[in-house]
Amino acid sequence: MSFVDGPVTVRVPASSANLGPGFDALGLAVALHDEITAEVIDDGLEVRVSGEGKDGVPLDETHLVVEAMHAAFDLMGGRPPGLRLTCVNVIPHGRGLGSSAAAIVGGIVLARAMVDGGDELLDDAAAYQLAVDLEGHPDNVAAAFFGGLTIAWIDGAAAEVERLTTDVDVTVFIPPSAVSTAKARGLLPETVPHRDAALNAGRSALLVAALTGRPHRLISATEDRIHQSYRAEAMPDSYKLLRQLRVDGVPTIISGAGPTVLAFARGVAEAAPQGWTVHELAVDADGATVVRP
């Protein structure tokens, strides 16, 4: 196996999972991007991180991008003798915008791009499967990898995805404090009432229709009864903002496991609590992309 000369850069988007009723299935890529660059060196590992989370991530082989790269290299047949990695992070960590999925997908796509003939050694289906295996859930991974609106599921052991095109306005409200995905998931009950599960099934189907051509249905389509309210105690300010915007007729959801709040609208930034960061974003249609060379 041979490696390309010089540095390679990959740009990978943030993602919002669940989108209200589509728990662990729906994902949306949004135009907030991390950029990671790597090149082969003679020996060792050098990791440099700037931007979001730079003081809280390891700078060794346990860095999530490095772990993903090594897993991809192993599938393709061998690791390089040494690696220099530079991460420029824009996606906030622990906020429900898919930072872990972006790191995993970015690392896999980057490793593939660094290998001569990497697209043949590790095609999209195999790369996506590896990303899901590493992440544990397919929803954020699918959106980060393929872009657009994705429906993701596990069929047996196989990771599957359908990608759809959507053009919807998005505003994200990012609070200053993080909430761990494990903590948020731990608040979910083992069972939910049948009527709530049935409502979510119908709303998930409606949401796909709303996002692909029926935007006037978004306020109904984003209703959820199986996860957001159960997590409210871990993010009371986020849940309060969610309810406020929905009462005002704005289709709004908790992004992923939270605490970021996502509204399918523009011109609502003034609703943000003090100290929160607001971004009006487009949908990212491209997913993880090699931008250099």
The set of residues, in sequence order, having a beta carbon less than 8 Å from that of 120 and lying 6+ positions away, is: none
- The reply to whether 92 sits in an annotated binding site is yes
Question: How far, in Å, are 64, 131, 188, 226 from residue 259 at the CA level?
Answer: 22, 24, 15, 16
Residue 288 annotated as binding? no
**Residue 19 annotated in ligand binding:** no
Task: Tell me if 198 is assigned to a ligand binding site.
Answer: no
**Cα 8 to Cα 16: distance, rounded to the nearest angstrom:** 26
Given the DSSP bridges, would you call strands 82-89 and 44-51 parallel, antiparallel or unpaired?
parallel
Structure tokens at 15: 């993602």
Apex 6 CA angle, 91 and 121, nearest 5: 80
Nearby residues of 155 by Cβ (< 8 Å), 6 or more positions away: none
Residue 99 is assigned to a ligand binding site? yes
Residue 93 labelled as part of a binding site:
yes
Pairing of strands 26-41, 261-263: unpaired
- Cα separation, 38 vs 13, in Å, equals 18
Helices (H), the chain: 64-76, 99-114, 118-121, 124-135, 139-146, 181-186, 194-211, 218-221, 236-247
238 annotated as belonging to a binding site for a ligand:
no
CB 15 within 8 A of CB 30: yes
199 assigned to a ligand binding site:
no
CA distances from 174 to 22, 260, 275 (A): 21, 5, 9
Residue 148 marked ligand-binding? no
Asked if 26 contacts 149 with a C-beta cutoff of 8 angstroms, the reply is yes
- 124-135 vs 139-146: helix crossing angle, rounded to 10: 140
Binding site membership for ATP: which residues?
92-102
Can you say which residues are annotated as belonging to the binding site?
A: 92-102
